[in-house]
Every structure is written in C-alpha cells, then in structure tokens.
Homo-oligomer: A and B are copies of this chain.
Amino acid sequence: MISNKMVGFVNNNSAIRAMFEEGKRLAKIHGAENVYDFSLGNPNVAAPMKLDAAIKEILDTEETTFVHGYMSNAGYEDVREAIANSLNKRFDTNFGVNNIIMTVGAAGGLNVILKTLLNPGDEVLAFAPYFVEYRAYVGNYDGILIEVAPDTTTFQPNLVEFEKKITAKTKAVIINNPNNPTGVVYSEETIKKLATILEEKAKEFGTEIYLISDEPYRELAYDGVEVPYLTKYYKNTIVGYSFSKSLSLPGERIGYLVIPNEVDDYSQVFAAASIANRILGFVNAPSLMQRAVAKVLDEKTDVEYYNRNRELLYNSLASYGFECIKPQGAFYLFVKSPTADEKIFLEKAKEFNILMVPGSSFACPGYVRLAYCVAYETIERALPAFEKLAIELGLKK
C-alpha cells in the first residue's frame, strides 16, 4: 500500500505529463507528423553544437575518475566559480564559489532550498498561474502553498492580494520570471514594489521572508525586454536556475542555486542546502554535465527560433478569434478557453489531434497552455486544425 500522500498524486497525476504520454500514444496511431503536441516544455531547438564538443573534449582530456567521480556535494569548485564569474559579468553582481550550489535542474534546486527553509506549517506564497509542481514541492516538506489569485487582465502579480496574504507564517515566496505558463515578464517596477512589500512585512512580523526566484526561462525574452536579476532588489533572494531551456538540456538535470552572502543566516543556509542536496538523494548534480555547461556559459539558444514560433502561433490564433496575451518570454501561450470548463475545450481540441494542458494545472482554470517549443512546421501544420476548432466553437464564422 502506498503512502496516503501519494494516493492523491496517483489519482490526480500531472495533466502535463498525461498529455505528453497521450501524445506519444496518438503519434503511434496517426503518425507523429499528424499530432500537434503543445503539451510539454521540451525544447525543439538543439543544444548548442559546442555543448557536445565540450563533452567530448572533457572525456578526451580530463581524468575519467575525476569527470565521473564524486566531488563536494555543492559541485565542482571550478564549475561554481565559472558560473559565479559569468553571473557577475552579466548582472554586475558579486558572487563567488560559495554562493553557488550545483543542482539536479531547477526542480532539484527548488526542493533543496525548500527542504532547507521550511518547517511544517510554514507558508509559501505563489502567484497564480504558477507551475503546478510548486504545490508538490512545498508539500514535500509539509509547507503550505498559499495562492495569490491571478490578475487575468495583465497576468502581472496581484500585489494587493499578495500583501494581504503575507502572515507571520510566511517563510518564502516563489516567483517564476519569465512566467510559465503565461509568458509574461514581471517588470522592474513590479519587482521593486514586491521587494518593498516583503521588506515591510518582514519588519512588521519580525520574520525573514525568502524570495525564491525560479528562472529556467531567464534567457528566453523577446522584443528586447529585460528580466531583472532579483538579488539586486531584495537581499533575501535565492535564485534557482536550470540549463534545461537555455541550452536545451531538460533531460540532463543540470542547474544551480544562487545563495548570496546578503541572505539572512547565509552560512547556515548554504551549509544546510549543501546537505539537503545530499540527503534528498541528489548527492550532487551530474558530474560530466556540470563540467560541460561550465565550458559553454556564453552559448545562447536560438531565441529567434522561438520568436518566429511565437509570432506565427499568436497571430494565427488571434486571427481565429482565440483570446490570449502576447507573451514576452518563455515559450508558452496562455489562451482563454472558449468554454467555461477548459477540459471541454481540451477534449474538443484532441479530436483535431491538438494537445494542450489545462489552466487548472496552473491554478488558473478557464485557460489552456500551449508550449510552442516545437518545430515551426508543426505549428504550420496545426493551424488548419486550430482554424477548424475555432469554427466549431463558434469563434470564427
């Protein structure tokens, strides 16, 4: 018999993952080219050529017991130093080797920092819509995820409700910028207001409130939009990063945490996070991949590729009558469901072999998410299906 906690998860498994499996099933029946799978954030852009070259170079030139062996739980020191230097150069920060912990992707990093910080009953705030796994991560440590309702006109954080929901039990806030699933980028103005609220509330309650910034989409911003680096706006900021999207390595599970010196109880937090990395069973981030990413920190993914997809998909869907905010970052479109219950919309779409995931998976029912990190041709082929769907739903005559 499985644990009570897991029974709920099994009965109510990730809709995203379920759609991914459904997509594989449909592809077998109809052929992959006839299934329009917008369910998963699995980048279609290839990893930089230099990444594979870096892996080979490491295998050819570094000692194998070192490359595949244990290192400090926080990661190889030279790798952490290279990442600190790269961040300092890009964001005018002042990090060193002891501000970086290499992690098993951003999901690993978030779990590590939540394990580090949370006592049972501690509250963690998140702005809807948010990546649904946050609720599971917080629950892993018996924390309570407190939702801030979405502002569905702008999808910027609802700071009025946010301020009201901070209590003496608030231990952390998770933000995701650029945002999954909306593609919205939180502006510098928003971040400054958010920081001020946090400072005032921490003072009012005599508490420490950590801002956890989940940033796998940092490198994916369009139209020249700037994504503020949060450690510069609020001292108790911890950044979780992943190379999943920026280098197209989601399966490799490689990322890092940034824990600045300025964070309250820095030494304890850093030491505890290193240990949490070990005892949660990660032990350390994958060794070869640590060394490989350190060699390609200046590489960039093909943002223009995603931008073309964004323009085509957004403009086409809008012309068919779908309602959607034009995203400025990440590779998602968050579309208002033409039916009140978006599950009906999703089922209808599936009849046209279009796979998307429900907004209720992001605590924002009435919407659906499309991941446009697919081939441009997939979008082109999907458009007639979307158009028929729009006609069938009465959006288009």
Q: A residues near B, CB below 8 A? A: 1-7, 9-10, 13-14, 17, 20-21, 40, 42-47, 51-52, 55-56, 59, 64-65, 67-73, 104-105, 107-112, 115-119, 133, 136-137, 140-141, 208, 248-254, 264-265, 268-269, 271-272, 275-276, 278-289
A250 B69 Cβ-Cβ under 8 A: yes
Classify the interface of chain A: helix, strand, loop or mixed. helix
CB distance from A210 to the nearest CB of B (A): 10
Contact (Cβ within 8 A) A284 B6: no
User: In the complex the two chains form, is B43's CB within 8 Å of A253's CB?
Assistant: no
- On whether the beta carbons of B251 and A69 are closer than 8 Å, the reply is yes
CA distance in complex: A5, B141 (Å): 10
Q: Among B56, B64, B287, which residue has its beta carbon within 8 angstroms of that of A46?
A: B64
Q: Which residues of B contact A72 (CB under 8 A)?
A: 20-21
B6 touches A272 (CB 8 A): yes
Q: How far is the CB of A228 from chain B (nearest CB, A)?
A: 25
Q: A252-B286, A253-B283, A288-B252 are in contact. Are A119 and B275 (CB under 8 A)?
A: no
Given contacts A68-B248, A104-B281, A288-B288, 9 further A-B contacts (CB under 8 A): A2-B272, A7-B268, A9-B276, A13-B275, A43-B69, A45-B65, A68-B251, A107-B283, A253-B285
> Which B residues lie within 8 Å of A116 (CB)?
2-3, 6
List the number of copies, as a whole number. 2
Q: Which of A133, A268, A283 has the most CB of B within 10 A?
A: A283
**A17 and B73: CB pair below 8 A?**
yes
* Bound-complex Cα distance A1 to B44 (A): 41
Least CB distance from A183 to B in Å reads 19
**Identity of the chain B residue whose Cβ is nearest the Cβ of A45 in the assembled complex:** B65
Question: Contact at B70–A47, with CB atoms within 8 Å?
Answer: no
Does the CB pair B59–A55 fall under 8 Å? Answer: yes
Residue of B nearest to A49 (CB): B64
Contact for A280 among B10, B111, B264, CB less than 8 A: B111
A272 CA / B249 CA spacing, docked (Å): 25
CB pair B1–A272 under 8 Å, yes or no, is no
Contact of A10 among B40, B111, B271 (CB under 8 A): B271
A4-B119 in contact (CB<8A):
yes
| Structural contact, A249 and B68, CB atoms closer than 8 A | yes
Q: Which of B9, B13, B55, B272 contacts A9 (CB 8 A)?
A: B272
Tell me which residues across on chain B come within 8 A of A2, comparing CB atoms: 116-117, 265, 268-269, 272
Pick 5 A–B contacts, CB within 8 A, sort by A.
Answer: A2-B269, A42-B65, A55-B55, A251-B287, A280-B280
Contact (Cβ within 8 A) A248 B65: yes
